[in-house]
Amino acid sequence: MSKIVIGEYSMAATFGAKSTTEDVLKGVDLKGKRILVTGVSAGLGVETARALVAHGADVVGAARDLEKAKRATSEVSKAAAETGANFELIELDLANLKSVRAAADKLVADGRLFDVIIANAGVMATPFGKTADGFETQFGTNHLGHFVFVNRIAKLIKNGGRLVNLASSGHRFSNVDLNDLGFATTPYEPFVAYGRSKTANILFAVEFDRRHRGRGVRAAAVHPGGIQTELARHMNPGSLEQMVKQINEQAAAEGKGPFEFKTVPQGTATSVWTAVVAPAEEIGGRYCENCHVSNIVADDVRLGLLDEGVRAYALDAQNAAALWKKSEELVGETF
């Protein structure tokens, strides 16, 4: 059992795979905190914003489609009204660096600081395509969009603040391939591309943490778990069911129970736990799942899809530094 201290609030608690946002935030007062969440037009982003404002935090939600986000966040606005929290939206298209830079510039001009940035938005298993800037869709959206956005507003993170990157156990599908990020020489496979982008999300957190921990800012990556959200919208009909069937067959062969989807509040719990509950020194530069820091598993050790664990390549400091350098070259900015 770990002791958790937040401001004047202290408690002993253990959380796990079935914990919800309300479980991890029970008794937590976030009044006075200001938090930025990307991807607030559906799923995890909406619940993240709702849970935070319900406990008093002021939240800025970023989304590509503001009209869709306004409709999706009606409950967030209601919760904010009840607690006296402020909730506002900002336009951000992570697949277009012109939009990314405009959003960042707007926030910098505003000048108000953030306690936490939760980089939640993303796409999964898309058909082969390219962003407005010519990058492979998943790497360009999930990694490079957030890389530019977060680095441009990094100075707005208060000393002692945090960055939480939404990653996935899907990082196990592939390490990053810095020599062929656009699949110019290898056949495109949607989940390999997704894996590369999610590994990049973790590596970005590792290097960001190294660069900013001197002023107490810590960064971590999180795996929310398997949740049925809009993230799967690019998958072919029936392919998700087939994937679950394969997972369950493998689990049965290993004497394990069947896979269970998490609810959205359960899937959001690890993001919130990492952002405002867990001790900073515990999560800094790490990968979290099921509301705890995950163990590193060597790259040659077999992992079932129901097993916890983060691949060593995803937390490798040299890998993280190399990705940072390559990302700067790709976007034409040095941070």
Query: What CATH number did the domain enclosing 116 receive?
Result: 3.40.50.720
**Chain centroid offset of residue 21 CA:** 15
Residue 308 lies in a domain: yes
Rounded distance, CA 216 to CA 82, Å?
32
Question: How sure is the predictor about 7, in pLDDT bands with cuts at 50, 70 and 90?
Answer: very low
Q: State the average pLDDT over residues 277-281.
A: 96
Kindly report the three-state secondary structure assignment for every residue of 46-80.
Answer: HHHHHHHHHCCCEEEEEECCHHHHHHHCHHHHHHH
pLDDT at 236: 61
**Which tokens sit at 151?**
């680095």
Question: Nearest 5°: phi and psi at 294?
Answer: -85, 155
pLDDT at 151: 98
- Asked if residue 105 has pLDDT above 80, the reply is yes
The conformation of residue 155, written as its DSSP 8-state character, comes to: G
C-alpha distance across the termini of the chain, in Å:
39
- Does the annotation count 9 as an active-site position? no
Q: State the average pLDDT over residues 191-202.
A: 96
Rounded percentage of the chain residues whose pLDDT exceeds 90: 80
Query: Among the options 188, 194, 287, 313, which is catalytic?
Result: 188
Mean pLDDT of the chain: 90
pLDDT tens figures, 38-81: 999 999 999 999 999 999 999 999 999 999 999 999 999 999 99
Rounded distance, CA 95 to CA 131, Å?
5
Q: State the average pLDDT over residues 111-137.
A: 96
Rounded distance, CA 148 to CA 97, Å?
8
Residue 74 lies in a domain: yes
Question: How sure is the predictor about 248, in pLDDT bands with cuts at 50, 70 and 90?
Answer: low
Decide if 222 contacts 164 (C-beta within 8 A): yes
Distances (CA, A) of 37 to 2, 161, 275: 27, 14, 11
pLDDT at 14: 85
Number of domains in the chain: 1
- Asked if residue 133 has pLDDT above 90, the reply is yes
Residue 64 lies in a domain: yes
pLDDT at 243: 63
Question: How sure is the predictor about 300, in pLDDT bands with cuts at 50, 70 and 90?
Answer: confident
- Asked if residue 266 has pLDDT above 70, the reply is yes
Give the SS3 label for residue 221.
Answer: strand
pLDDT tens figures, 197-213: 999 999 999 999 999 99
Residue 246 lies in a domain: no
Residue 101 lies in a domain: yes
Q: Domain containing 80: what range?
A: 14-237+263-331
pLDDT at 13: 64
The two most distant CA atoms of the chain are separated, in Å, by 57
Q: Phi-psi region for residue 160, left (φ > 0), alpha (ψ -120 to 50) or beta?
A: left
Residue 242 lies in a domain: no
pLDDT tens figures, 218-244: 999 999 987 765 555 555 656 656 666
